Amino acid sequence: MHLSSVLHSPLLDRAGERLGRVDDLIVRLADGGYPPVTGLKARIGGRELFVPVDRIAALEPGAVRLAGEKLSLGRFERRAGEVLLAADVLGRKLVDVEADPPRLVTAHEIELACIDGWWRVVGLDHSARGRVRRSLPRRLRGFGADRPFLDWADMEPFVGHVPSSRLRFSHRKLANLHPAEIADLVEAASHEEGEEIIEAVAHDRELEADVFEELDEHHQLEFIRERPDNQVAAVIARMAADDAADLIVEIDQERRGRLLALLPTAQRRQIEALLDYNPSTAGGLMSPDFIRLAPTDSVADAIAKVRASDLGAGTLTTVYLLDPEGRLRGSVFVVTLLRADSHRPLEDVVEREPVWVGTDADLPEVARMMTDYNLVMLPILDAEERMVGVVTVDDVLELTLPTGWRRRFGVARD
């Protein structure tokens, strides 16, 4: 049964006499799975009333029949966890988390089914035909009714205009997506919808920062514009230093100083050091985070340091050997460490003359060196040949691919 076939239909008493009309159906999305209908909002004599599901004798296309002789005349008030299908979901966007890639879809029609004696939301129609069918007179709404509906179990609902103090959604499905997929959804959504998607993952502060790193510059600035400094600083503090520096440099000078002052001292110094470099050079591209070891350390020492590191997997492919002055003396792939005798000193397995570039190297030179030597990480040295950072292949790809490369086709769908 379609939601549109019930909305504004007559509300009948036991004898079939008209009492009023059905304004909306009420469900609880937080229950997971297929949300059950818990009641309806009805209009009787100009009053909005709540009718609990146990007072409904028959829910059918074109009419709803009540059971019993009496009906409470208390005004309708939304309770915590309740969602009105027409007011809150119909015509709004949801996330189809099972699509590849995950996409935004608009609920032009909602499908209901009676399962074990209980009416539940089981699907939605995101097609233009669903929107047209909903606008037709009731007698013609069978048009396009055989079109396959998307399974509601694959949806992650977010209803931005409903006060968050009234509704809380778990967003467990959304949180299981890759940060880049979530960022694609944010960029495809309206500002309000994007805000809610970000808020949906904000309980996981690391995930929130990862999503923020994946957003394009326009959306990063858009979402921090209205946030207070302490909230913005909290997100920046969890970002990689190079990504944080890229964001900070785009913020106006006055606010930039306030945000830097709120960051932990060590991270602030890293970001300020990166801001001294031209953004289009290796110094501006690099991350200051990498694994440093001494030539006298053992293979076991190196593996232990890799295991204890909280760096991302993309910057844990190689470890670097530095002398006490910070000069590069060699590098070792992590896979080489895993294959070597754990008791051997690193100087026995090290690559003695690793490839590197200076901080003033431009992007084409960085890309050429990484391509020629099949590298996913490239050491960056300053004028005194001290190692100050690494450039990773993802940073190079981001700058060499055409503008708008991250937009996934089909992320936004009606």
- At 26 the three-state DSSP class reads strand
Which pair of tokens denotes residue 235? Answer: 């997100």
Helix 205-214 and helix 191-200: axis angle, to 10°? 140
Kindly report whether the peptide bond that precedes residue 101 is cis, defined as omega within 30 degrees of 0. Answer: yes
Domain end residue (candidates: 122, 144, 162): 162
316: CATH? 3.10.580.10
In a domain, 53, yes or no: yes
Element of type H or E holding 303 = helix 299-308
> CA–CA separation, 120 vs 134, rounded Å?
19
Rounded to the nearest 5°, which phi and psi values hold at 409?
-65, 135
Answer yes or no: is 338 within a domain.
Answer: yes
Instruction: Looking at the structure, tell me whether residues 24 and 155 fall in a common domain.
Output: yes
As a whole number of angstroms, the distance between CA 312 and CA 307 comes to 11
Enter the tokens of residue 284. Answer: 């501006």
Beta bridge partners of 111: 2, 123
CA separation for the pair 200, 171 (Å, rounded)? 6
Same domain, 4 and 151: yes
Q: What is the pLDDT of residue 74?
A: 67
| DSSP at 408 | P
How far is residue 52's CA from residue 41's CA, in Å, rounded to a whole number? 9
Flag whether 228 is in a domain: no
Backbone angles phi, psi at 323, to 5 degrees: -85, 175
CATH classification of the domain holding 34: 2.30.30.240
Residue 311 domain-assigned (yes or no): yes
- CA dist., res. 382 & res. 69, Å (int): 86
Total domain count for the chain? 2
Neighbours of 166 (CB within 10 A): 12
Is the full-model pTM beyond 0.85? no
Burial 335-374 (b: 16+ CB within 10 A, else e): ebbeebeeeeebbebbeeebebbebebebeebbebbeeee
Contact 23/9 with Cβ under 8 angstroms?
no
The per-residue pLDDT for 169 is: 44
Tell whether omega for the bond before 157 is within 30 degrees of 0, i.e. cis: no
- Given this model, what pLDDT does residue 157 score? 63
Instruction: For residues 153 and 12, state if they share a domain.
Output: yes
Residue 256 lies in a domain: no
Show the domain range for 304: 285-399
Which one of 103, 137, 162 terminates a domain?
Answer: 162
Last residue of a domain, one of 111, 143, 162: 162
What gap in Å lies between CA 343 and CA 341, rounded to an integer? 5
d(CA 175, CA 204): 8
Task: Report if residue 50 sits inside a domain.
Answer: yes
Give per-10-residue mean pLDDT for the chain (414 aa). 91 88 86 82 88 88 84 73 85 82 86 90 80 52 56 69 41 78 88 83 86 89 90 91 90 92 93 91 93 93 93 86 94 93 91 90 94 93 94 86 61 57
d(CA 312, CA 253): 30
Cα–Cα nearest to 319, from 354, 269, 343: 354
In the chain, what is the straight-line distance between the N-terminal and C-terminal CA atoms, in Å? 21
Specify the pLDDT at position 161: 44
User: Is residue 88 in a domain?
Assistant: yes
Secondary structure (3-state) at 95: strand
pLDDT reported for residue 410: 56
Asked whether residue 168 is domain-assigned, the answer is: no
The answer to whether 25 and 61 have CB atoms below 8 angstroms apart is no
| Separation CA 227–CA 356 (nearest Å) | 40
| DSSP H stretches of helix in 25-86 | none
Angle at 279 between CA 275 and CA 285, to 5 degrees: 95
